[in-house]
Amino acid sequence: MMPPTLYLSRLLPEPVMAIVRERFQLVQEPLDTLPSPAALREGLCQADAAIVTLGDRIDATTIHAATRLKILANYAVGYNNIDLAAAQARGLTVTNTPDVLTDATADLTWALLLATARRIVEGDALVRSGQWTGWSPTQLLGAEVSGKVLGIIGLGRIGQAVAQRALGFRMTVLYHQRQPITAATSPQKWEYRSLHALLEESDIVTIHVPLTPATHHLIGARELSWMKPTAFLINTARGPIVDEGALVEALTKGTIAGAGLDVYEEEPALHQRLSPLPQVILLPHIGSATLQARVQMGLTCVTNIQAVLDGRPAPNQVPR
């Protein structure tokens, strides 16, 4: 019997490629670049199953054209790139990769948080420039992180992993989301706040909500004006949750002290006034970029695909 056909929109790490080559017939050899919308649609139309990434915009037209396709396994935990309503209407299963990237993304959030508060990138540039004249009492003074107030917007899987790491820094953890967590699910002393109160009280604010119509521009000019002028904003969730134009204004005027970004409104394009700002650290969307997480994400996709092709429920079907 012929193996099922699989469309892979991107080349995945080798351990995952070895498994998919063994189990499926690939529609085509995947490249390490984003496919054009036409190539993406053509690939999806030829496949029984597909693994797609967050850069692939999968709209209603594509979903309805890909009549053979049974499952779209998104190689990410966020799935804002897929028209879920259209998928549901056509009975197409969509899955994501929760949990396996939680630690990697929480670690990266902390790396970005510390790098932003302690001016790590500026320090590296100074040493490399050859202009460093030696230790100075006034050089590259940053902000203390230990003992400060950390505000987490979205205390889900990644938000909680970030909060747990804050224990080692003796931080007070505030959080905001739609439903406060119950004492049973939260043995920690994490305090619920309205968005307004969290932004007013926090020294560092970090965003971990999914991108949905409700969270689009959740942080705009008004919200930034509620933050302390000494506070930092960290975003490793999705770019459009922050109004990037308003963020640039707030950083330029000193409404807030700095920002650490892993994601952008129009990525990979960058707001032209962001890059000259030294108080901003810019990463290329590497939240889940450890070999371990990326391999596990691939294996999660394969598990979900196998389940659907075998007629079983997919373990990570969205929405749950």
* 78: contact with ligand NAP by CB under 6 A: yes
Q: What is the 3-state secondary structure (H, E, C) of the chain?
A: CCCCEEEECCCCCHHHHHHHHHHCEECCCCCCCCCCHHHHHHHHHCCCEEEECCCCCECHHHHHHCCCCCEEEECCCCCCCECHHHHHHCCCEEECCCCCCHHHHHHHHHHHHHHHHCCHHHHHHHHHHCCCCCCCCCCCCCCCCCCCEEEEECCCHHHHHHHHHHHHHCCEEEEECCCCCCCCCCCCCEEECCHHHHHHHCCEEEECCCCCCCCCCCECHHHHHHCCCCCEEEECCCHHHECHHHHHHHHHHCCCCEEEECCCCCCCCCCCCCCCCCCEEECCCCCCCCHHHHHHHHHHHHHHHHHHHCCCCCCCECCC
Site string for ligand NAP, 101-140 (x = CB under 6 A): x---x-----------------------------------
How many chain residues are in contact with ligand NAP, going by CB under 6 A?
29
* 177: contact with ligand NAP by CB under 6 A: yes
Is 90 assigned a catalytic role? no
Cβ 27 to ligand NAP shortest distance, Å: 26
Cβ 297 to ligand NAP shortest distance, Å: 9
Residue from 64, 122, 267, 271 carrying the catalytic annotation: 267
Site for ligand NAP in 228-267 (CB under 6 A): 236-238, 262-263
Stretch that binds ligand NAP, among 5-13, 34-42, 198-206, 284-292 (CB under 6 A): 284-292
Cβ 247 to ligand NAP shortest distance, Å: 16
* Shorter beta-carbon distance to ligand NAP: residue 69 or 77: 77
* Shorter beta-carbon distance to ligand NAP: residue 6 or 152: 152
Cβ 46 to ligand NAP shortest distance, Å: 29
* 159: contact with ligand NAP by CB under 6 A: yes
* 95: contact with ligand NAP by CB under 6 A: no
Is 191 assigned a catalytic role? no
* Shorter beta-carbon distance to ligand NAP: residue 68 or 196: 196
CA 109 to chain centre: 10
Query: Where do contacts with ligand NAP occur on this chain (CB under 6 A)?
Result: 77-78, 98, 101, 105, 154-159, 177-179, 208-212, 214-215, 236-238, 262-263, 285, 287-288
